[in-house]
Amino acid sequence: MKQFFTTTLLCISAFFAMTLTSCSSSDNDGPVNHTVTFHSNGGSAVEAQTVEDGGYATEPLSPSKSGSAFDGWYTDNTDFLQAFDFGTPITAATDLYAKWSAITLAALQALVVEAQAINLDNYTSASQEGFESALQAAILVLEADAPAQAQITTAYNALATALSALVPVPHRPVASVAFYPAPIEDVIKLTPGTPFNLYAYALDADGEHATNSAVIFEISLPAWMKDTTVSANSFQGSISETAPANATVVLKAKSAETPSKFTTVTIQVVTAEALKAQFIAVVDALPAPAGITYEHGTSLEAALNLYNMLSYDERAESNVAAAYSKLQACFMALEDLPLRFKYTFSGNIATVTPMKYDGTLDEDESITMTYEKNGNFPCGTYTINSWEEWDNNEYAQQRLVLNNGGTVEMFIRFSTNAQGTNPSQWQAGGIGTYTNQGTQSAAGGILTLDFDDNSGNG
């Protein structure tokens, strides 16, 4: 997240916000649940998990134990020979035991990799204090030519302690499962000879990613589908050149946490002519660029998905090129709409998350800011609590000043390191207007920012 407010729009333009059209079902029989218990063997406590029968436990953050490195979860508590695979379905009550080893440079590197992969949206803002500094300090040790064992041990203990101090936000249970790209009428159309990469996520009741968003894909692979691979959220492969037109197969995605929550989509092989016709029809149904609103985001995304499935030769055809020209203009109109952010407060710490065009949250880009009040809320100064990597080996920090009268000013300063120990003076970065709907509370609200394109922002 290099430049949060000035590049949020560009990031969304480069990778259009995912619209997750949900079409979930659930099995009729009531699920059977099992408890997975984590025994940390002298380390920090790890909360037990309740997992639906046939579901999967979520690997918790590594516990901490002063002077020792966490070395995995095992089903045996003596010789530690049976490492637990979190890809194993839970079909009975399960006890797991922590193994501890000596702190080494490799152990520190593994802990840093784990810390960098954490989605901090799943943890309270207050518990994140000290996490970023501990992570950056550990990275500096890894980057040193020959760090001493004392440095490695200190960095490991500090980062492990920061990890174990993270307090999860209330669990967001799975309410539905959804595919991306968003299927049109529950059908994803692919042409012979094309690769594909489909995504599915488990969502909570608000349509956001559930705490455990992983899914399990189920499909009876047809002969015309090749080179398939799966991960926690993706199913990819390619369609054979000889795939028969109108051939179909059903792909099911079910929640790894709650298998009774699932959705299905039909993958259909279509001719290039049929795909072109559908692309042009979707674009023709869009209004002129001047009439584009947030509500058109789903249709724009659907059109772009169809276009990306066409070959380069098909894209060059005059009727396709004309439709794509209109689509580009509509995207530009969408990008010109004000930026929207969801915020919540814990004391004077605001957690700020960009909103996608469909109103869902881009949780991967969430940040925390320190609020200094100046007048009636929301007026005051909001300073991002982290330094982000910039150009020319510099790091940057940004702040917003919301003024009475609905005007906003953005400022930026630079440092040569990620801790910001030698910051430059604040520099003007942009001006614009804002609207606010919400309060300084846990419920928060929505902040809309509309920066002047000629003010130096962007």
**Residue 198 near residue 188, CB atoms below 8 Å:** yes
Q: Report strand pairing: 261-269 vs 187-190.
A: parallel
CATH 2.60.40.1080 residue ranges in the chain? Answer: 172-270
**Residue 49 near residue 34, CB atoms below 8 Å:** no
pLDDT one-digit tens code per residue, 273-325: 999 999 999 999 999 999 999 889 888 988 998 898 788 889 999 999 999 99
How far, in Å, are 142, 170, 253, 390 from residue 387 at the CA level? 19, 28, 38, 9
pLDDT one-digit tens code per residue, 340-375: 999 999 999 999 999 987 778 888 789 999 999 999
CATH 2.60.40.4270 residue ranges in the chain? Answer: 32-165
pTM of the model: 0.58
Strands of the sheet containing 176-180, edge to edge, are: 21-22, 176-180, 195-203, 234-239, 225-230
pLDDT one-digit tens code per residue, 5-64: 544 433 333 333 333 333 334 444 567 999 999 999 999 999 999 999 999 998 999 999
Q: What are residue 441's phi and psi, to 5 degrees? A: -155, 175
Given a cut of 90, whether residue 456 has pLDDT beyond it is no
The count of residues in the chain is: 458
Question: Which region among 183-197, 225-239, 243-257, 266-280 has the lowest average model confidence (pLDDT)?
Answer: 183-197
Domain 172-270 fold is: Immunoglobulin-like (2.60.40)
- SS3 call for 364: helix
In this predicted structure, what is the pLDDT of residue 63? Answer: 94
Structure tokens at 103: 């702190």
Pairwise CA distance, residues 154 & 225, whole Å: 51
**Residue 431 near residue 448, CB atoms below 8 Å:** no
Given a cut of 90, whether residue 83 has pLDDT beyond it is yes
Structure tokens at 238: 């390619």
Its CATH class, for the domain covering 32-165, is mainly beta
pLDDT one-digit tens code per residue, 148-185: 999 999 999 999 999 999 988 888 899 999 998 778 88
pLDDT one-digit tens code per residue, 85-132: 998 999 999 999 999 999 999 999 999 999 998 888 788 888 888 899
Q: Please list the residues that pair with 439 across neighbouring strands.
A: none
Of all residues in the chain, what percent carry a pLDDT higher than 90? Answer: 68
pLDDT one-digit tens code per residue, 404-427: 999 999 999 999 988 899 999 999
Pairwise CA distance, residues 53 & 50, whole Å: 10
